[in-house]
Amino acid sequence: MTSLIERALWEADTQIDTELLTYAKRRDLFRCIEAVRSMTREDRIGPKLKSFTENIAPDTGFFIVNVDVWFNNDRTKKLEIEHQIRQALGTQGSQLLGDLFEISGLLLGRVKVNEFSLNALLNLDIVCMVELPFEPIEQEPFILYSQNFTPILNDTLDDDAPLATVLDSGVFTGNPLLRTVVVAEEEFDTTEHSTTDFNGHGTGVAGIVVYGDFHDSIKNQTFTPLVRICNGKIMHNENDTPVFPEEVRPEKIVNDAITYFHDTYGCRIFNLSAGNANSIYQGGRQFPWASMLDDLVRELDIVVVVSAGNVIDPVINEFSSRDDLMQKHAISYLILNID
């Protein structure tokens, strides 16, 4: 109803301010809209899922997808929306895995479907997007130590030192460079029933967070920690790759972890080094992952450091000048870490 009122005011060019929009903001907002139309089934299917369904085998059976549902932030309607989703899925094995997770403007869920229940989802007007869960970016190989390398630890941090949370595959706190700086640990991916790192990625990231530039430290063999850390385990090891659990949306896990360490330990700096090579922002609606992080940053007054552009053996172009760079390569794509 509010949007209809704002549209009517814009069409009549009524120069009044409302609680939602000033006249100037309303004018600028509607001028940016090129067209308004109803969403189609094709609009609701993600690129990975579209490719998957075009080549789906007849005997594929059940598989898991992410579903994003439009939401006007009226929590009294949440159960009704969940009922619509479950009704569309039917009673033949397809199911909503857990409750829908709320962010601004969307409800996020994870659903077990087959070809038939997927089609039912895609035909629902309340559905914004259906997509396959994300596949993590392959990590680069790394070696923490060689046999003849003995680090010297120069830890001068006290209880008032800066605190940052590492959201990753866990941290191996027995590492001699990290065991004195880990303040707290908690697992939000309970697959391995441990906060320790069985993959290695989280421990490597924790080292960068704590020490920053390793080059001088390795050269001098002296390591001086800059911050203390909390270990927020949000992924587990699977075939030597850090992955999120299958039954829960990553957005919810990350949201729970950030909220916990902020409320419990007063942490306001968070590092999130997880990425999805198939989710590259190219304009249009903001991804749910980014929207969720934006909400948390505003609500909790925190900083979230997100890795971007992580690829194996990146191509580094050379340019003759800054103008050459701006003219030939003005468009860049940001790899966002989302589901």
pTM for this predicted structure: 0.76
Q: What is the largest CA-CA distance in the chain?
A: 77
The pLDDT assigned to 122 comes to 94
Asked if 120 and 90 touch (Cβ cutoff 8 Å), the reply is: yes
> Could you give the domains of the chain?
2-31 (no CATH), 41-131 (3.30.70), 152-306 (3.40.50.200)
In tens, the pLDDT along 212-264 reads: 877 778 778 889 999 999 999 999 999 888 999 988 999 999 999 999 999 99
Structure tokens at 35: 């067209």
Share of the chain above pLDDT 90, in %: 48
Contacts of 40 (CB under 8 A, 6+ apart): none
Cα separation, 69 vs 147, in Å, equals 53
- Confidence check: pLDDT of 4 > 80: no
Q: Give the torsion through C-alpha atoms of 176, 181, 183, 188, to 10 deg.
A: -60
In tens, the pLDDT along 177-201 reads: 899 999 999 999 999 999 999 998 9
The mean-pLDDT minimum among 168-182, 187-201, 283-297, 325-339 falls in 325-339
Closest Cα to residue 95, out of 67, 68, 71, 128? 67
Tokens 């707290």 belong to residue: 184
**Using alpha carbons only, what angle is made at residue 209 by residues 204 and 210, rounded to the nearest 5 degrees?**
95
pLDDT band per the 50, 70, 90 thresholds, residue 143? very low
The mean-pLDDT minimum among 53-62, 75-84, 174-183 falls in 53-62
pLDDT band per the 50, 70, 90 thresholds, residue 157? very high
DSSP 8-state secondary structure symbol assigned to residue 269: E
Cα separation, 171 vs 169, in Å, equals 7
Asked if 287 and 131 touch (Cβ cutoff 8 Å), the reply is: no
Residue 297 backbone dihedrals phi, psi, to 5 degrees? -60, -45
